[in-house]
Chain A
Amino acid sequence: DTAVSQTPKYLVTQMGNDKSIKCEQNLGHDTMYWYKQDSKKFLKIMFSYNNKELIINETVPNRFSPKSPDKAHLNLHINSLELGDSAVYFCASSPWGYEQYFGPGTRLTVT
């Protein structure tokens, strides 16, 4: 059983489009996160949700909107995609205040 899963694995789209990435965890954790990994492999947090409540919004453009329908899901919707949004996006989950477990990533390419 996959602990943290993301779909799609790859996403290629044109500038200006709107796209969503889905994340699900079956670990029973109450906290979920979105991270962005740039071309130099640097990982930076974007958002965190605890029990469906937004906890961290790390100065991310408001074109990015996370949605948590329940504790096991945290989706990321991106409006008006830009070239600079190209990156690998990772979802993660954890018990509050403990180690985080990452999904396999979604490689987003904006052309």
Chain B
Amino acid sequence: GQQLNQSPQSMFIQEGEDVSMNCTSSSIFNTWLWYKQDPGEGPVLLIALYKAGELTSNGRLTAQFGITRKDSFLNISASIPSDVGIYFCAGLTQGGSEKLVFGKGTKLTVNP
């Protein structure tokens, strides 16, 4: 089945640093999504990308949809303690059975 390779698995950074994480796939996706999950909560949508090459920002977050449609990255600038959590990339398959395929997540720890 389709799989997303998300890296890194975990990151330990100091407050104020920038963060970058990415996802790659052997399959093409028409939509890439980035979610954040806090402990005991459901994933919360951060950014949705619909066009190859698209670069989209949401506050300190920036994400890009790769030109080949097989990859995406998420950057967080000037990290703060509340950025702690697990970040998931997800590719949306389309064409009759729309479903999200998730990466395995990047666990972010921010040291104050």
Contacts and interface: CB of A to CB of B under 8 A. Distances in A.
Interface of A: 4, 31, 33, 40-45, 48, 55-56, 58, 90, 92, 94, 96-105
A100 B86 CA distance: 17
A48 B99 contact: yes
A42 B102 contact: yes
Residue from A4, A40, A41, A104 having most chain B Cβ neighbours under 10 A: A41
Interface string B71-101: 0000000000000001010001010111110
A48 B42 CA distance: 17
Interface of B: 31, 33, 35, 37, 40-45, 48, 86, 88, 92, 94, 96-100, 102, 104-105
B86 A41 contact: yes
Contact of A43 (B41, B43, B45): B43
Contacts, number: 58
B91 to A, nearest CB: 12
B49 to A, nearest CB: 10
A53 B41 CA distance: 28
Given A43-B88, A48-B99, A102 B104 contact: no
9 A-B pairs closest in CB distance:
A102-B42, A43-B102, A99-B48, A102-B43, A45-B99, A104-B42, A105-B42, A97-B98, A56-B97
B104 A40 contact: yes
A31 to B, nearest CB: 7
B112 to A, nearest CB: 24
B42 A55 contact: no
B104 A42 contact: yes
B6 to A, nearest CB: 11
A97 B98 CA distance: 6
A31 B100 CA distance: 13
